[in-house]
Structure 1
């Protein structure tokens, strides 16, 4: 294993959190996180924030609000 280093790990952390890296890059980041406390902490913070946003995004807007937004969007689109 070759350590990818903190710079690469931090630069690609967002993509890693969202499973957007190819297998080799993801493995490099995962291996680095296992050996680096600083980057592992950054990963934990990112993972916690990602999970909090995902939970918050599961709520459904009230139907009348959705209708108002859609009506407004249609009005804006018809003006272009």
Structure 2
């Protein structure tokens, strides 16, 4: 019955770090969730890590919720329409991702990356 003892054993810091993302995404089973929640509640170090990860996720979620201004949206859609009408043999797609990180001292860093993807149609 070693399996039931493992369920009742406290979670280690390394195990908490290993499963932290799944825990915060509510993807762990009930036993693992209880063990991780207990550990994070009692371990100051892991609690700070979980709080920082939660804060980062909230920042990213709020930044991803922002929508492009209507003028930019219209300009991009217009260019896509031109590209679609003039490109018969190939298609080009540009994807831009932006990441914003605010540190504890209030400094915000924004990184953007554009990737161009080309592929043949038909």
TM-score for the superposition, normalised by structure 1: 0.79
Per-residue Cα deviation, 1:20-43 (whole angstroms, up to 9, x for no partner): 111111111000011100100100
Matched residue SS, 1:55: helix
Question: Match of 1:79?
Answer: 120
Matched residue SS, 1:75: strand
**2:13 aligned residue (6, 13, 20):** 6
Structure of greater relative contact order (alpha carbons < 8 Å, 6+ residues apart):
1
Q: Which runs of 5+ in 2 are unaligned?
A: 1-7, 84-89, 93-117
Q: Distance in 1 between matches of 2:79 and 2:30?
A: 40
Residues matched between the structures, number: 80
Q: Which runs of 5+ in 1 are unaligned?
A: none
The offset of 1:78, in angstroms, is: 6.1
In the TM superposition, structure 1's runs of 4+ consecutive aligned residues that sit over 6 Å from their partners are none
Question: Match of 1:18?
Answer: 25
The offset of 1:79, in angstroms, is: 1.3
**Worse-matched range after superposition: 33-42 or 61-70:** 61-70
**Structure number with bigger Rg:** 2
